[in-house]
Structure 1
Amino acid sequence: MRATIDGVLLADADPQHIISIEGNRYFPPESLTIGTLKDSSTPSVCPWKGRARYYSVKTSHDEYIDAAWCYPHPRQTAIETVGHNFTGYVAFDTTRVIVE
């Protein structure tokens, strides 16, 4: 499974390593293309997963603010609910990023 934007590869992982949470596909950290995601200062807290970290993507065509996010320290109850440790896994805004 791959995540791309403007033809730029953001992540590539075997589907068996993808974790699906609330309709979003979370890619393992090691599947990310180094240097494509830039930290964003946007704050966000999910009531059951915890504090999220957002990322932006800049391509030669555009800049996509908050196009991806992860949970660097998800709540233990969230990990138990999901059934997998998704610490650091990254999901993408599929209105802007192609995930297929």
Structure 2
Amino acid sequence: MKAIFNKTVIAQSDKIVVVEGNNYFPLESINMDYFTETTHRSTCPWKGEASYYTVKVNDEISENAAWFYKNPKDAAKEIKNHVAFWKNVSVEK
């Protein structure tokens, strides 16, 4: 699968983990040149605290468009070191 933003592939992997309909890409499959960690956080009762990245490709920016769990709870350990996308990032096969 590929994650695409502003007509650019920002992540690509065949080792996707799907949780609650979201495709989580392994951390090593994303191109970190396009990502900047933000201070935004959210909390899921069973996954734990999510951290976010802003995605920037050329002059196009999508704030907090990717999220990940640095230290997920045991029930969500399969998504440790994985990143999921939303907002203006499309995920395609």
Both structures adopt the same fold (TM-score exceeding 0.5): yes
Q: Which amino acid aligns with 1:96?
A: N
Residues 63-82 of structure 1: pairs in structure 2 closer than 5 A: 63-79=61-77
Q: Structure 2: any 5+ residue segments left out of the alignment? A: none
CA 34–43 in structure 1, closer or farther in 2 if over 3 Å, else same: closer
Does structure 1 residue 92 correspond to structure 2 residue 85? yes
- Pairwise CA RMSD of aligned residues? 1.2
Aligned-partner SS, 1:26: strand
What do the CA deviations read for 1:14-70 (whole angstroms, capped 9, x no partner)? 1xx100011100001111113111101112111110010100011223211000000
Residues 20-99 of structure 1: pairs in structure 2 closer than 5 A: 20-79=18-77, 85-93=78-86, 95-99=87-91
Aligned-partner SS, 2:79: coil
Greater share of residues in strand = 2
Task: Find the structure with the greater CA-based Rg.
Answer: 1
Q: Distance in 1 between matches of 2:45 and 2:84?
A: 17
Identity among equivalent positions (%) equals 39
Say how many residue pairs are matched: 92
Give the TM-score, by structure 2 length: 0.91
Q: Structure 1: any 5+ residue segments left out of the alignment? A: 80-84
Q: Distance in 2 between matches of 1:42 and 1:61?
A: 21
Q: Distance in 1 between matches of 2:81 and 2:33?
A: 16
Bigger drift between 5-14 and 20-29 goes to 5-14
